């Protein structure tokens, strides 16, 4: 099952209720979430080898959402990855068993909008950060540079 499958299967109203239960302060961003949710339903997505996972970190008291690639077990952030790639990622079986569909979508939406709701601005900022630093928070930097240069 992929993120896009869950988005197409679940109504925005169901998802936003869950998102607001999990992240009550996000009530001020409902319009932004609605816009992104609607756009994702009609998005032309790119192929992806990634698998999305959600793990609860008891010590930090938050749900960590990340992806892995089939070639290795390294964890990668969803941050600064284009949404057209993320929506086509598979969801790990463990995540599907542990979380409801609305919870998975809610954590996903919260994570991908952490830096803002305007994807173009967020990706532009990422491109600038790549130009201005040598160390990166993820190891797929060459692939990200290629994606952002298009």
pLDDT digits (tens, 9 = 90+) for 70-113: 756 777 777 767 778 888 888 999 999 999 999 999 999 998 88
Judge contact between 66 and 27, C-beta under 8 A. no
Q: What is the pLDDT of residue 121?
A: 67
List, for residues 40-61, the tens digit of each pLDDT value.
888 887 777 788 888 888 888 8
Task: Using alpha carbons, select from 49, 130, 116 the residue that is nearest to residue 86.
Answer: 49
Task: Using alpha carbons, select from 42, 43, 59, 33 the residue that is nearest to residue 112.
Answer: 33
Residue 50 carries which DSSP code?
E
Q: Where are the domains of the chain?
A: 3-118
Q: Give me 40's structure tokens.
A: 């994702």
Q: Quick check: helix, strand or coil at residue 140?
A: coil
**Total-model pTM:** 0.77
Instruction: Report angle CA 142, 145, 148 to the nearest 5 degrees.
Output: 150
CA distances from 104 to 39, 65, 92, 140 (A): 18, 9, 11, 24
């Amino acid at each position: 099952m992929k993120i896009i499958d869950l988005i197409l299967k679940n109504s925005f109203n169901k998802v936003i209720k869950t998102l607001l239960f999990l992240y009550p302060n996000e009530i001020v961003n409902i319009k932004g979430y609605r816009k992104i949710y609607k756009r994702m339903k009609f998005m032309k997505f790119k192929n992806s080898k990634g698998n999305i996972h959600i793990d609860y970190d008891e010590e930090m008291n938050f749900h960590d959402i990340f992806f892995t690639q089939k070639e290795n077990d390294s964890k990668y952030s969803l941050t600064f990855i284009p949404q057209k790639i993320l929506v086509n990622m598979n969801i790990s079986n463990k995540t599907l068993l542990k979380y409801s569909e609305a919870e998975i979508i809610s954590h996903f939406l919260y994570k991908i909008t952490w830096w803002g709701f305007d994807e173009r601005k967020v990706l532009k900022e990422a491109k600038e950060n790549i130009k201005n630093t040598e160390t990166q928070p993820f190891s797929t930097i060459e692939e990200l540079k290629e994606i952002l240069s298009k």
